[in-house]
Amino acid sequence: MENSARYTLIGAFALACLVAAFSFVYWIKNVGGLGQRAIYEIRFEQPVSGLAIGASVLFNGVRAGAVTRIALDPNAPKRVTITVALDPETPVRADTVVDISFQGLTGAASVAFCPTPDRNQLPRGNRFPSRLRGQNSFAGPDRRF
């Protein structure tokens, strides 16, 4: 009786450790998704090579969020729309410059927001995302979406 009790106890302990490890990894992976997020759409008319869902979004070099969606426009194949979720305290302005940057030795692609001194801060609503333009994304005088 004593031998089977030890095996049961060891098995229960191993199972508890396994569940705890999976829970920890899940928590670490999704810790950025907890809480309120400000959603922004960015449109580029340039290649976004190497950018993937989950890539970092940097505001003045500091990680402020992640890429949540990448889509091609079926009517204009050169146009790429990227949706990002940022910390709601990030001071994104109407004329913030957005570009694709590459980091470190591996050259991982990320979206870089470069702040400007403009005082017009964009609304932070989550129902309808605010739209920004990627750097060099639209030519000509009409810069609307």
Q: What would the pLDDT profile of 62-110 be if each residue is shown by its tens digit?
A: 888 889 999 988 888 888 999 998 888 888 887 788 888 888 788 888 8
pLDDT(45) > 60: yes
Amino acid sitting at position 136: N
Please enumerate, as own/partner, the contacts of 49-52 that have beta carbons within 8 Å and a separation of 24 or more.
49/100, 49/109, 50/100, 50/102, 50/107, 50/108, 50/109, 51/82, 51/100, 51/109, 51/110, 51/111, 52/109
Looking at the structure, tell me whether residues 45 and 73 fall in a common domain. Answer: yes
Q: How much of the chain exceeds pLDDT 90, in percent?
A: 13
Backbone angles phi, psi at 66, to 5 degrees: -145, 160
Q: How many CB atoms lie within 10 A of CB 98?
A: 22
Interatomic CA distance for residues 46 and 44, integer angstroms: 5
Looking at the structure, tell me whether residues 68 and 104 fall in a common domain. Answer: yes
Looking at the structure, tell me whether residues 50 and 68 fall in a common domain. Answer: yes
Looking at the structure, tell me whether residues 61 and 119 fall in a common domain. Answer: yes
Looking at the structure, tell me whether residues 49 and 118 fall in a common domain. Answer: yes
Q: Give the residue with greater pLDDT, 42 vs 32.
A: 42
Total domain count, the chain: 2
pLDDT(138) > 50: no
Looking at the structure, tell me whether residues 11 and 43 fall in a common domain. Answer: no
Looking at the structure, tell me whether residues 17 and 87 fall in a common domain. Answer: no
Q: Is the whole-model pTM more than 0.85?
A: no
The range of the structural domain enclosing residue 18 comes to 2-31
- Mean per-residue pLDDT for 122-130? 59
Residue with tokens 């129902």: 127
Looking at the structure, tell me whether residues 22 and 57 fall in a common domain. Answer: no
